[in-house]
Chain A
Amino acid sequence: MDERPTDKGIVLTEEQKRRRRARSIAIALALAALVLLVYVVTIVKLGPGAVQRPN
């Protein structure tokens, strides 16, 4: 892979940028799935109680 240290620091190649973007999208999708899972599990476990304040 062609990546040379320069005065600007490490400059990523176009291929590395593409892969980093793909990884970022995958992390975003995984986090969104986690949020959805926690939301759905909370609703199923607590039902209407999820929005009721304790007295």
Chain B
Amino acid sequence: MTDLSAIDRRPEAALATSAAEVADFLALMKPRVMSLVVFTAFVGLMLAPGHFHPVLGFAALVCIAVGAGAAGALNMWYDADIDAVMSRTARRPIPAGRVLPGEALGFGATLAVGSVVMLGLTANWLAAALLAFTIFFYVAIYTMWLKRSTPQNIVIGGAAGAFPPMIGWAAAGGGITLESVLLFLIIFLWTPPHFWALSLVRSGDYARAGIPMLPVVAGRAETRRQILIYTAVLVPVSFAPWLLGFAGPVYGVVGAAAGALLAVLAYRVWATPEGRASDVASRRLFGFSILYLFALFAGLLVDRAVLIG
């Protein structure tokens, strides 16, 4: 017989009943981040040497997308306390009280294990290992450790966002090669100027939450300088696929045009220290940086299509 007297009937226990909509669980997976992950993984998949069945390619992309979503859910589970005090994240499902922390943890952990096992079975275990490492890196290394302890958090943590094209490349049977490492390196170098541009605008938020983002710890001037330095390294490195002959003229032209614009926007951020103009410059750099990465990877894709066609 079940002992019904053991059921917790305090009012606060009643509040522990899920009020989550399906959309809240989708929001836990950070769909906007996921879209860039899927796109870069798709490019890695398409660029890798050799042939693979389209169905297996699609299945691999689904696994990578779900793995990225799992990492997002686990990140939101762990970061719920700081999300609650930042205006940008206060409406996320957990701080808003729509999803219980335990639900997010169970959801994220289940999807993480499921996506890794499925990727191993559909593609190969190297790709699955890379996906598992990416999830581990994002959740344990970035979210639990670096984010709250060092202003270099997004520099090192950016590796997690840089792995998807490598996973796609490995899933297609290409292993780990110089080309796939270059794709990794481009996103790795892109992350700091991209994220610091946002953190310049949101530095008050991060300071309130006690997150040691670069503008909070080292100041706005140092952040603007670092944005310029990373952009100055990123743009030449972005030409490497073209110089090494694994990308064609479309990528070269797109990389030159988009790289020049990114450099101009980064320079404007550096040259505009204070006031509303500074915020505008930072927002422009942040917005364009997303387009920049998309354009680079689209250029690679077009070149490959031209090569095959």
Spell out A's residues near B (CB within 8 Å): 1, 3-5, 9-10, 12, 16, 19-20, 22-23, 25-26, 34, 37-38, 40-41, 44-45
Contact = CB atoms under 8 A, between A and B. Distances in A.
Contact of A10 (B14, B22, B114): B14
The binding surface of chain B is classed by DSSP as helix
Contact of A12 (B7, B17, B118): B17
Contacts of B55: 40-41, 44
Interface of B: 4, 7, 9-11, 13-15, 17-22, 25, 53, 55-56, 59, 62, 114, 118, 121-122
A12 B14 CA distance: 10
B14 A5 contact: yes
A4 to B, nearest CB: 7
B56 A44 contact: yes
B19 A5 contact: no
B120 to A, nearest CB: 12
Nearest to B98: A19
Contacts of A9: 4, 7, 9
The binding surface of chain A is classed by DSSP as helix
A38 B4 CA distance: 41
8 contacts: A1-B19, A4-B11, A5-B10, A5-B11, A12-B17, A19-B20, A25-B22, A26-B25
B14 A20 contact: no
A4 B121 CA distance: 47
A9 B9 CA distance: 7
A26 B29 CA distance: 15
